[in-house]
Amino acid sequence: MKNFYIIISEYTTKVRAISATRNRLAEELKKHGANVDIYEGYLDRDFRIPDNVDCVITVGGDGTMLRASRAGFGMDVAFLGINKGHMGYLTELSQIDDYDEVIERLMKDDFKIEERMMLSASAYRDGRRIYRDHALNDVLIGKNDCVHMMTFELYINDTFINSYRADGVVVSSPTGSTCYSMSAGGPIAEPTSKLLLVTPICPHAINTRPLVLSPLDKVKIIPRHTTQLVSCDGADGTDLESGDEIIVTKSRSSMKFIRFKETSFLDTLRDRMRYV
């Protein structure tokens, strides 16, 4: 690897320790002959990773990594996260004790690549597409008010499954199974597996259960109220109308994580759950 792009979370730009990490990373990478660019601030929906970047290093939390992954959608780029946030499920390092070792391993490609599936979401109104986005974690169809429940119909591969009254529904990837889906009562999946998880949020029925689906399945959701929205990975929501069709499938692209450590997902899960 030679071309690096460092992204600093907008919430941590004023923290002295973050500035020190950023400066040291850039300095050491350049000493080893790497090309380094730095971006500081919020990554909105239209932000894109520049071309010819080999590695994106995020300094922040899982939210920073999520926005960066969407900004690099479809690109052949690897991601390395340095956790300065809360949980840090998606980040590889909490701190760098030996910059020389980390930089040398990056420059020599001395690491493992862990691929994670992503989701593709589209919304259609009267046959016309009004929304399209991608998610590493999840696609949320939820309420844009805080009072009323929403009603929606669920179809799998165009087969009607059920009609729900709930606060919403989360369609999650395995990576996102430890996020909103888990909070809503969904199962935890090994993050490199290939699955679709469908979890109603606070359903008004005692017999409603989450669904675990094949990555080849197509999830279709039709809201029956006008106070709903769709959002990918917590990005700004797009309003929906009754009768709109939201289609969620496995994306054609995946995300590549750089892994230095041999720590298993179960070890990470155990350690992170201590702080929930």
The catalytic residue positions are: 62
Provide the pLDDT for residue 86: 62
Domain harbouring 75, CATH code: 3.40.50.10330
Domain match, 127 and 248 both: yes
Is the pLDDT at 142 greater than 70? The verdict is: yes
- Cβ neighbours of residue 86 closer than 8 Å, sequence gap 6 or more: 61, 62, 275
Model confidence at 115, pLDDT cuts 50, 70, 90, reads: very high
Instruction: For residues 10 and 46, state if they share a domain.
Output: yes
Across 229-246, average pLDDT? 92
pLDDT at residue 174, rounded to an integer: 95
What CATH number is associated with residue 147?
2.60.200.30
**pLDDT per position as a tens digit, 180-202:** 999 999 999 999 999 999 999 99
Per-residue confidence (pLDDT) for residue 270, from 0 to 100: 67
For the cut 90, the answer to whether the pLDDT of residue 24 exceeds it is no
Continuous segment of H or E residues that includes residue 237: none
Q: How many structural domains compose the chain?
A: 2
Mean pLDDT of 198-224: 94
Question: 53-103, pLDDT tens digit by residue?
Answer: 999 999 888 888 888 988 888 899 999 988 876 666 677 777 777 888 888
For residue 151, the model assigns a pLDDT of 92
Mean pLDDT for the chain overall: 87
* H/E segment holding residue 205: none
141 with 38, same domain? no
Same domain, 9 and 105: yes
- Which amino acid is residue 201, in one-letter code? I
Same structural domain for residues 54 and 79? yes
Residues 269 and 245 grouped into a single domain = no
The verdict on 247 and 264 lying in the same domain is: no
- Does residue 255 surpass a pLDDT of 60? yes
**240: helix, strand or coil:** strand
Rg (CA), the chain: 20
pLDDT at residue 93, rounded to an integer: 77
Q: Evaluate whether 22 touches 6 at the Cβ level (below 8 Å).
A: yes
For 17, 52, 78, 144, 272, the CA distances from 104, given in Å and listed in that order, are: 22, 20, 16, 48, 28
Q: Does pLDDT of 4 surpass 90? A: yes
Tell me, yes or no, whether 61 and 144 share the same domain.
Answer: no
Tell me, yes or no, whether 176 and 237 share the same domain.
yes
Domain with 62, as residue range(s), is: 3-111+260-273
Please indicate, yes or no, whether residues 268 and 221 belong to a single structural domain of this protein.
no
How confident is the model over 108-122, as a mean pLDDT?
93
User: In terms of domains, do 122 and 211 share one?
Assistant: yes
pLDDT at 87: 62
Same domain assignment for residues 226 and 158: yes
